[in-house]
Amino acid sequence: MSDGARRARAIRAMVVSHMRASYREPGGLFWTYGFPILLSLVLGLAFRSRAPEAPRVAVVGAEAPVVAEKITRGGEVVAKVEARDVAERALRTGKIDAMVITEGPAVEYRFDPTRPEARLAKALADHELQKASGADPKVATKDTIVTEVGARYIDFLWPGLLGLGLMSTGLWGIGFSLADMRAKKLLRRIVATPMRRSDFLASFLLVRVVLLLVEIPPLLIFGRLFFSISVRGSPLALVLTLLLGALLFASMGLLLASRSQNPQIVSGLINVVSFPMYLGSGVFFSASRFPPAVEPFLRVLPLTALNDALRGIVTDGAGLSEVHRPLLYLLAWNVVVFALAVRLFKFR
């Protein structure tokens, strides 16, 4: 048997063993499939698109019935005539969004400008009142209503969950299992065989690639069936992105588990590394929601690049050329992290 063939045989045997072990771990299945599916169901339902409720205002004063009728005419605002004290109480407790007072020469709006709904209620009520009172619009406009697949929260969330999944399966699946192997001296037992150490590490990366083939299709099918999300961009770009992401986080798992004898410390490290990406890499909300001062730091995180690329491909229909920048960036991360991991990794 040639040396190449026997090395290939050893690596294949390692990969098969890892796969068996990971699929016999019930927790593993949950984190791969259950978690993203559950999370997307919960968040997808919570943030599903629906018609917003019409703002509610109370109208008080002498002219109240007339004004209320005018405000209601367009169907955009719900207006009710109320006694002054009732209306004031309703405003205080948020039962109505604004109060319209019809006493004296000017119509008075009372509302809390720090509440977006209140400002909307005031603006809409005013607009309806002006229109019904015969004011001419200065500029001609028309409304086109958009409720398209691709603009929903779930469309934003879903690619981010794929990225998050790659991160946690890589860091935990590789990092924690290596830490555990080291603590149990299983690493040492493997070192006592002719298997090459570099082949041993490579087998872990290979496992992630193979698992990717098993993990991703069910998630894509789920997204399609439940949320009608389809990949609009280049499938090749998607495969490449997933591959780079999976390999990067697998190497990062190797790196985090490269030294410590104690699995607790490794799990601490994994938490420290993943937490900023969990929140800051635009999984649940866009990274641009952070103050501008923080954003450059979030741009550095590899999960941010991965999510950008995934979102570009899945939602915006990007091809390879459009996402080449985040992909090159991920590639650079891969090279650096893997080189460090191989250098620092201790087998004993």
Partner 1 sequence: MIANDVPAVHTRGLVKIYDDTVAVAGLDLTVARGECFGLLGPNGAGKTTTVEILEGLVDRSGGTVEIFGRTWEADERWLREQVGVSFQTTHLQEKLTVREILELFRAFFLEGKPVAQVLEEVRLVEKADARYETLSGGQKQRVAVACALVGRPALLFLDEPTTGLDPQSRRALWDVVHTFREAGGTVLLTTHYMDEAEKLCDRVAIVDHGKIIASGTPAELVAQIGAKEVVTVRLAPRDDTSDDATVETARGSLVEALEGALGVVSVRREPDALAMTVRELHDSLPALLAILAARGESILGLTTHRATLEDVFIELTGRQLRE
First to last CA, the chain: 30
Task: Show Cβ contacts of residue 190 under 8 Å, excluding neighbours closer than 6 positions.
Answer: 181, 200, 347
Q: Based on CB atoms, which residue is closest to partner 1, 25 or 69? A: 25
Smallest separation (angstroms) from partner 1 to the CB of 6 = 6
**Sole residue written with tokens 């790196």:** 255
Q: Based on CB atoms, which residue is closest to partner 1, 88 or 199? A: 199
Smallest separation (angstroms) from partner 1 to the CB of 40 = 29
Helix axes of 302-314 and 153-170: crossing angle, nearest 10 degrees: 140
Smallest separation (angstroms) from partner 1 to the CB of 193 = 4
Smallest separation (angstroms) from partner 1 to the CB of 192 = 5
Smallest separation (angstroms) from partner 1 to the CB of 304 = 35
Task: Tell me which residues touch partner 1 (CB under 8 A).
Answer: 1, 6, 9-10, 12-14, 16-17, 20-21, 24-25, 184-186, 188-195, 348
Q: Based on CB atoms, which residue is closest to partner 1, 214 or 300? A: 214
Q: Based on CB atoms, which residue is closest to partner 1, 14 or 327? A: 14
Q: Based on CB atoms, which residue is closest to partner 1, 196 or 224? A: 196
Specify the DSSP element, H or E, that contains 266: helix 263-280
Smallest separation (angstroms) from partner 1 to the CB of 218 = 22
Count of residues making up the chain: 348
Smallest separation (angstroms) from partner 1 to the CB of 146 = 50
Q: Based on CB atoms, which residue is closest to partner 1, 17 or 133? A: 17
Shortest CA distance to 175 belongs to which of 251, 62, 96, 69? 251
Q: How does 262-279 read in b/e, with b if 16+ C-beta sit within 10 Å?
A: ebeebbebbeebbeebee
Q: Based on CB atoms, which residue is closest to partner 1, 267 or 307? A: 267
| SS3 assignment, position 193 | coil
Residue 328, number of CB atoms within 10 A of its CB: 12
Specify the DSSP element, H or E, that contains 54: none
Contact (CB, 8 A) for 109 and 125: yes
How far CA 43 is from CA of 4, 37, 148, in Å, comes to 49, 10, 18
Smallest separation (angstroms) from partner 1 to the CB of 21 = 4
Smallest separation (angstroms) from partner 1 to the CB of 185 = 6
Q: Based on CB atoms, which residue is closest to partner 1, 24 or 138? A: 24
Cα separation, 289 vs 286, in Å, equals 6
Task: Show Cβ contacts of residue 298 under 8 Å, excluding neighbours closer than 6 positions.
Answer: 276, 280, 281, 282, 287, 290, 304
Cα separation, 161 vs 182, in Å, equals 30
Contact (CB, 8 A) for 95 and 107: no
Q: Based on CB atoms, which residue is closest to partner 1, 180 or 316? A: 180
